[in-house]
Structure formats: C-alpha cells, structure tokens
Amino acid sequence: MLALHKWKILLILIVANLLLLACLGTGDIKYWREINWLDILGEGGVSLLSLVWLLLILHSRPAGRVTNFFVLGLAGIFLASFQDALDEIIQIPDSVSFDQWVESGLMPVGLLLLTYGIFHWHKEQLHINEHLRKRERLFREHLIQDPVTHLGSAEYLRRQLRMELLQHHQQQQPLSLLLLDVDNFAHINRRYGTDEGDRLLHELAELLLLNLRRCDLLCRYAGDRFAIVLPNTGETMAQMIAQELANAVRHFAFKTSRQGESVFHSVSIGVALALDDSAEHLLARANQALLHAKEKQERDIFLAA
C-alpha cells in the first residue's frame, strides 16, 4: 500500500530536510558539553515513533480523506518534534523565530488534525461493522472464520451462543436456534466435484444472509450444515423463518460452472428453542430435531421437543 502514498512521504522528508538546512544556515552546532542527551533521546524518540506510526498507517490504509487527515496530523507531530530535537543540537540565535513557530505551532495543529482523522475513522468503522453485522456480530475474530463461506465457524457459534444464552436468561427473552442441512449434498460433490460443492455452499450462505434479519447470526456448523441464531424469537416466528429459508433455497437455481445447467436443492431444518440449558445442550437438541426432519422427507422442518 505504501506505493499509493509515495508523494506524501517524499514531501514530508523534503520539509524535514529543509528544516535541517534552515537550522544549520541560521545557527551554530553546540559543543558536546552543552548537549543534553536525555532531551535528545526524549524528543528524538517522539519524532521517530511518530514517523513509524505514519508509515504503519499509510501501509494499512487506502488513499482517501480519512487517510489524508492522518497524514497531515502525524506529519505535523513529526516535524514539530524533529525541530525540537534539532534545537538540542543546534544553537539558534534569539533573533530567528521560525523554529518557535514550527515547534509550538505545528504540534497542536497536528494533534487536532489527527483527532479529526480518528473521529472519521471511527465513523467509517461503524459503517463497515454495520455491513458485516449479520456475518460476524459484536466483535471481529478472523481466526475463527470458515474459509469457504466466510462465515463464523462452529467454535465462533458456540461462543456467540453462550453470550446470547446469558442475555436470554437475564432478560427473559426467547431465543431460537436453527440447524439447516442441504439434502444430498454429498451427491453434488461426487457428481460435479468438490469445487462446485464449495461454490454452492458459498452461494447458499449469501442466499441465507439475504433472507435473515439484521439481528440474526449465520454460521457454518460443519460440512453442509449451517447454524442460525435467532435472538428474541419464539417458536412460531422461528418456524416461519425456517420455512422462509427452506422456500428460498428450494427456488434457488444453482448454475453449474461447466454446463451452466440449473441444479435445485432442498434443505432440512431442525429448530430448537432455548430453555434453561447450555449452548452444547441446545445444539444437541437442534441436531436431534434436524435428524428427525431428515427422516421425514415430506416435511422440511422439525421442532425439537
């Protein structure tokens, strides 16, 4: 990403050089005994660190308005502290005042600009979070993400479920869990290859997301089994959502990549309502309900006892 910002970096370094030249031109280098090494270490450290921050931020961000504020702010801080450090080495006569201006003027301006940048970054992040909400709620943990569907994994599901159950007990709100399994998924893998199978899972994940509410959480349990956490949802509502999901999948015409033919799928869904049980127990009940749904092929959905 640094290549995007090379002109900005170049400009900052040129200004720093000009400052150095201006100081050398107007003042004299101090004698060894006049130099306060502790000050140099402190002020030089600040200027070096602010340069490191600047590079790290430039390296991780695309070009844009927020990035520009970061650059201006950090550049101000860097130049002010750089001038501060130069003052420790070079004796500038009292008649020259530009060093005062750089030192005391740039620092507050830089801090203000940086603050403004951080404020907008925060707004930008809220926006992104909103976008990602149904995929990964409350916090982002990329380590427990499934690489095929980019959904949370079973481990993530269990953590979220524990948190949701805690809330469910405290607030006396209903909570439902759906487990959704693609019928005859193994045949897709055998017939069209595992790449097609993976692509189907990815597209189904997108399809399911479109049919869920903002507060719901979709995870990939394992293989072709998806888990959906429905907060504040009672039995009737959960069954309705399950039916909607089953209908959506049934009408979804998956196109194979080689022939472009349409392949249709049905799903079986197990529904379990949270009682006073643990996440593991709730999952076990949903799994049982799913098995019942699979046995009775004429019905897609089965509610756990």
Partner 1 sequence: MKPWYERDTHCILAHQQPATLIDMAIKRGIDSHKLLRGTGFFYEDILAGNLQIAPCQYYQLISNARRLLPGDDISFLLGHRLLPGHCGAASAALSNARDLQQALELLLRYRLLLTPLIAPRLHYDADFLYVYWQDTCGASGEWPFLTEMMTTALTSLSRWLSDQHLPWRCYFSHQQPRYIEQYQVHLGEQLTFNSHMDAMVIAREYLHIPWINASPSAAIVAQREADAQLIAMGFEGGFLERIYAHLLHNIQRPTSLDQVAADFAMSSATLKRKLSKHHSHFQAQYDLVRKCLALYLINRQGWSNEQVASYLHFHDANNLRRAFKRWTGVTPAMLKIFTP
Q: Is 194 in the site for partner 1 (CB under 8 A)?
A: yes
Least distance between partner 1 and beta carbon 253 (Å): 24
Least distance between partner 1 and beta carbon 227 (Å): 9
Token digits of residue 12: 């900052």
Q: Which stretch binds partner 1 (CB under 8 A): 54-62, 99-107, 111-119, 216-224?
A: 216-224
DSSP structural state of residue 152: B
Q: Which stretch binds partner 1 (CB under 8 A): 2-10, 23-31, 62-70, 184-192?
A: 184-192
Please tell me the distance from the alpha carbon of residue 157 to that of residue 209, in angstroms, as a whole number: 16
Residues 45-74 binding partner 1 (CB under 8 A) are none
Q: Is 277 in the site for partner 1 (CB under 8 A)?
A: no
Contact 267, 181 (CB under 8 A): yes
Helix (H, G, I), strand (E, B) or coil at 266: coil
Our CB check for partner 1 shows the closer of 237 and 291 to be: 291
Q: Is 147 in the site for partner 1 (CB under 8 A)?
A: yes
Q: Is 141 in the site for partner 1 (CB under 8 A)?
A: no
Environment class of residue 13 by beta-carbon count within 10 Å: exposed (0-12), middle (13-18) or buried (19+)? Answer: exposed
Q: Which stretch binds partner 1 (CB under 8 A): 59-67, 80-88, 93-101, 219-227?
A: 219-227
Q: Is 225 in the site for partner 1 (CB under 8 A)?
A: yes
Maximum Cα–Cα distance across the chain: 94
Contact 66, 74 (CB under 8 A): no
Q: Which stretch binds partner 1 (CB under 8 A): 53-61, 66-74, 239-247, 284-292?
A: 284-292
- Exposure string of 219-237, with b = 16+ CB inside 10 Å and e = fewer, is bbbeebbbbbbbbbbeeee
Q: Is 287 in the site for partner 1 (CB under 8 A)?
A: yes
Token digits of residue 283: 């999952």
Least distance between partner 1 and beta carbon 196 (Å): 13
Neighbours of 77 (CB within 10 A): 25
Contact 219, 152 (CB under 8 A): yes
Q: Is 154 in the site for partner 1 (CB under 8 A)?
A: yes
Residues of this chain that interact with partner 1 (CB under 8 A) are 146-147, 154-155, 181, 186-187, 189-190, 194-195, 221-225, 287-288, 291, 294
